[in-house]
Structure 1
Amino acid sequence: MGILAGMITDSRTLPSARSEQADAAADGRRSLVVVGVNHALHDGYTDMIYVLLPVWQAEFGLGYVALAVLRSLYVGALAGLQMPSAALADRFGVRTVLALGTLLGAGGYALAGASGGLIGLCCALALSGAGSSTQHPLASSVIARAYGAAARGPLGTYNFTGDLGKAALPPLVGFLLVRTDWRPVLWLVAGAGLVVAVVVACLLPREPASRVTASAKTASPVPTRASDPTGFRLLVAIGMLDNAARPAFLIYLPFLLQAKGAGLSLVGIAFALVAIGGALGKAVFGRLGERFGVTRSVILTEAGTAVAILAVVLLPLAPALAVLPLLGLMLNGTSSVLYGTVPDLAPAGQVERAFAIFYTWTLGGSALATPLLYGPLGDIVGPGWAAMAAAATAAMVVPLMLCLSPRLTDPSTQETP
């Protein structure tokens, strides 16, 4: 009788378990869609600054150092406040902080549109960057909790959605700038941010972690070399150089193209071409890194980045535009490979802390290097030579990667060309 009663109980609980699994899967999909839309908005907010730089240069009479500072105010706030954003989420909840961060990012651009001078614009950009600081760490944690041990694929999809925003918002802004003043354009994109903030607040599950199975919660961490923190430091240094090369080139791309005869609409399309190539790079090189090894993949992408930058600088307008998707593929290919290597080298197996450190240092280093190094270069030697310095920065990754290679845990990643 006891056995029969147990069978009856199992038959009753099985549908309940299946229902919980179905609910968890639905929550996971909804979470991925919501944070993906949010990621697209914030990455679009970040890259549309490049299209606005020539407009601000003309209106405020700025040099390249000042333009680099404008961008760094946004990116610096974004980088420096990621760890505090995580702390706020622990207290007030991920959904609340994500929604308020998106609202703050949109509010910053609305304030920029209402600003009458340069100081107001600077404050507004820093405010918007502070709002965008919430989405990278918190959205990643939402996906990790919703999908548990199966989160690698959804995290890749989340990263891809950011490039969709980069491909959509800059060309839209460039198209509108030809037809109206830049301030109404910023109010329009701020309105889009308000809509996304409402979507996050209403549709993102409040506690996706509650539906993760116990096995996913207790899954063993990725094996790491806890006794070799030097490997992680090398990885961070490589990430800093890689993240410095990208804006060091992109900040001058509008001026390089305008010197070749491009208008603002075409400049916006050019950034879309870079973003499309970047989205493909994240998808392609993430897999190539697993198949051919991290060392070979990173050396290929950084060498390709340097060559592609030189081609854009030296070629006429049409061939330069044709190179931009390849350049985007190489620029983003490295970040995809490096991101997947962080768990392998996380000190003491603390993967979440390692990601926070990696994001903070790489983005923060980019925010500092642009105004302190590449901006003055532009004023001294011009956009073309400053862009070539960005190519040299990408090439500097190669010797560091060769030093890191023996420290990687995966034997296949230790191969060198």
Structure 2
Amino acid sequence: MGFGATCHLLVAENSMSSNISKERSSAPSRTLVVAGVVHALHDGYTDLIYVLLPIWQAEFGLSYSVLALLRGIYSGVMATLQVPAGRLAERIDGRRILAAGTLLSALGYAVAGYSGGAVGLCAGLALCGAGSSTQHPIASAAVSRAFKGAARGPIGAYNFSGDLGKATLPALTSLLITLMAWRQALWLVAILGVLAATAVALMPRIQVTIVEKPDRFAAPTGDHRSFRLLCAIGGLDTAARMGFLTFLPFVLQAKGAPLATIGTSLATVFIGGALGKFACAWLGARIGVFRTVLLTEGATAALIFATIALPLTPTLLLLPMVGLALNGTSSVLYGTVPEIAPDGRVEHAFALFYTIVSGSGALAPVIFGLVGDAAGKSWGISCAASTALATLPIAGLLAQRLKSA
């Protein structure tokens, strides 16, 4: 081989190596983009029900108990199937499961659009819940595996995308319903799901399946007790958040807020929450889990008590900060799941974590509501603040285990 041919071969090899390096460096970003889009879609699907319930009540003459059943079917099926979905992703290509789940959710809303009563709506929402059960454990694990030790910030961005979906898809559907029949609007929403499922299925090198041996991926601190402590913090944090949001409209109403103001106030809480998820994920990467939880949960309790004591105007000004503190903890916890996943089973760990969090979010308003009925709304919302404070000693125990490990 001559000198010229050798040089040509070296240039070709360097070019190929450069292309491979660029491909590898862009793969995590593609994973985050796809996971974020799917998260936005599924979370938007989940909160879209609140827009549709009044329409279905007027269309089919449904009682409040049946409407509550419809909402419960979606949440119940989604929470129940998250652990099986995570386990299935450990054996089958997670990307295919995520694409199939997204397609199933789209099919569920298409069925709801064709339904002629409560039975059809129940069937459609059960399909939606089953499809959405694949999103949290698989997409979260995909992002954590793609970014490995630097996953806290991307996990925060992933969670932030879910809040964007909650804000945009229900609003978009409300606009569509003013222009066309609600059935046609749901079919368009279903088409969005089909497009998202296609994007997941065709996206190359999205790191959803296990790509390394579990004992190499898992952090040395990945043990069952640490993970149980993390789940306990997540459950209490969600209980505090859902309890506060349950009583907030009634607290504002008692302070003299009209209905329009209450709706706007809830929107400011959600916007603050979206920013909190994004910002606190990066904060957790800088100062650690315990300090971030201490900051966010302490602020949550203090701000909740402030909303009880202050007049209407100062309360309204505080609500974005309340939302930031309320949702800030969750991103830190999500980012910690892959670091302490027992035996390196990240999909299974995320599935368990989200199941516990979902169950706590469903149960807490009922318990706090009983307290409110017995002692008044101020006591009910105070229980939410106290629940936030209850996370602090548990976070201290978790910090000690992480430090010793």
Q: 1:109 & 1:377 partners in 2: Cα distance? A: 36
- Bigger shift: 362-371 or 236-245? 362-371
Q: Does 1:407 align with 2:401?
A: yes
* Match in the other structure for 1:158: 158
Give, in angstroms, the shift of residue 201 of structure 1: 0.6
* Match in the other structure for 1:128: 128
Q: Does 1:197 align with 2:194?
A: yes
- Write the letter of the residue equivalent to 2:45: Y
Q: Residues 89-128 of structure 1 correspond to what in structure 2 (within 5 A)?
A: 89=89, 93-112=93-112, 121-128=121-128
Q: Is the 8 A contact 1:106 1:191 kept in 2?
A: no
Residues 154, 395 of structure 1: CA spacing in aligned structure 2 closer, same or farther, 3 A cutoff? closer
Q: 2:185 aligns with which of 183, 188, 192?
A: 188
Residues 368, 407 of structure 1: CA spacing in aligned structure 2 closer, same or farther, 3 A cutoff? same
Residues 70, 251 of structure 1: CA spacing in aligned structure 2 closer, same or farther, 3 A cutoff? farther
Q: Does 1:208 align with 2:205?
A: yes
Q: 1:250 & 1:113 partners in 2: Cα distance? A: 30
Residues 251, 204 of structure 1: CA spacing in aligned structure 2 closer, same or farther, 3 A cutoff? farther
- Bigger shift: 49-58 or 128-137? 49-58
Q: Percent identity?
A: 47
| Runs of 5+ unmatched residues, structure 2 | none
Give, in angstroms, the shift of residue 22 of structure 1: 3.2
CA distances 1:231-269 after superposition (whole Å, capped 9, x unpaired): 322221111111222223324445555664443x65554
* Match in the other structure for 2:360: 365
Q: 1:211 & 1:22 partners in 2: Cα distance? A: 20
- Bigger shift: 331-340 or 167-176? 167-176
Q: 2:306 & 2:118 partners in 1: Cα distance? A: 34
* Match in the other structure for 1:221: 217
Q: Is the 8 A contact 1:110 1:187 kept in 2?
A: no
Q: 2:269 & 2:52 partners in 1: Cα distance? A: 16
Give, in angstroms, the shift of residue 29 of structure 1: 3.9
| Runs of 5+ unmatched residues, structure 1 | 412-417
Give, in angstroms, the shift of residue 122 of structure 1: 5.0
* Match in the other structure for 2:168: 168
- Bigger shift: 230-239 or 360-369? 360-369
- Write the letter of the residue equivalent to 2:40: A
TM-score normalised by the chain length of structure 2? 0.78
SS of 1:345's equivalent? coil
- Bigger shift: 166-175 or 274-283? 166-175
Give, in angstroms, the shift of residue 333 of structure 1: 1.0
Q: Does 1:326 align with 2:321?
A: yes
Q: 1:386 aligns with which of 377, 380, 383?
A: 380
* Match in the other structure for 2:45: 45
Give, in angstroms, the shift of residue 187 of structure 1: 5.7
Q: Is the 8 A contact 1:240 1:366 kept in 2?
A: yes
Q: Is the 8 A contact 1:282 1:332 kept in 2?
A: yes
Q: 2:57 & 2:385 partners in 1: Cα distance? A: 24
Give, in angstroms, the shift of residue 82 of structure 1: 1.9
Q: Is the 8 A contact 2:82 2:133 kept in 1?
A: yes
How big is the alpha-carbon RMSD for the aligned residues of Structure 1 and Structure 2?
A: 4.2
Q: Does 1:12 align with 2:9?
A: no
Q: Is the 8 A contact 1:347 1:354 kept in 2?
A: yes
Q: 2:124 & 2:373 partners in 1: Cα distance? A: 25
Q: 2:293 aligns with which of 298, 305, 312?
A: 298
Residues 176, 10 of structure 1: CA spacing in aligned structure 2 closer, same or farther, 3 A cutoff? closer
* Match in the other structure for 2:73: 73
SS of 2:76's equivalent? helix
Give, in angstroms, the shift of residue 16 of structure 1: 1.5
Q: Is the 8 A contact 1:83 1:356 kept in 2?
A: yes
- Bigger shift: 389-398 or 138-147? 138-147
CA distances 1:182-212 after superposition (whole Å, capped 9, x unpaired): x955863562342243133146545515899
Q: 2:202 & 2:364 partners in 1: Cα distance? A: 38
Q: Does 1:241 align with 2:242?
A: no
Residues 338, 143 of structure 1: CA spacing in aligned structure 2 closer, same or farther, 3 A cutoff? closer
CA distances 1:343-376 after superposition (whole Å, capped 9, x unpaired): 44333444443333222222233334444x2454
SS of 2:229's equivalent? helix
- Write the letter of the residue equivalent to 2:244: F
Q: Is the 8 A contact 1:51 1:268 kept in 2?
A: no
Q: 1:280 aligns with which of 271, 275, 279?
A: 275
Q: 1:91 & 1:353 partners in 2: Cα distance? A: 11
Q: Is the 8 A contact 2:231 2:357 kept in 1?
A: yes
Give, in angstroms, the shift of residue 380 of structure 1: 5.2
Q: 1:196 & 1:344 partners in 2: Cα distance? A: 31
* Match in the other structure for 1:398: 392
- Write the letter of the residue equivalent to 2:77: A
Residues 362, 186 of structure 1: CA spacing in aligned structure 2 closer, same or farther, 3 A cutoff? farther
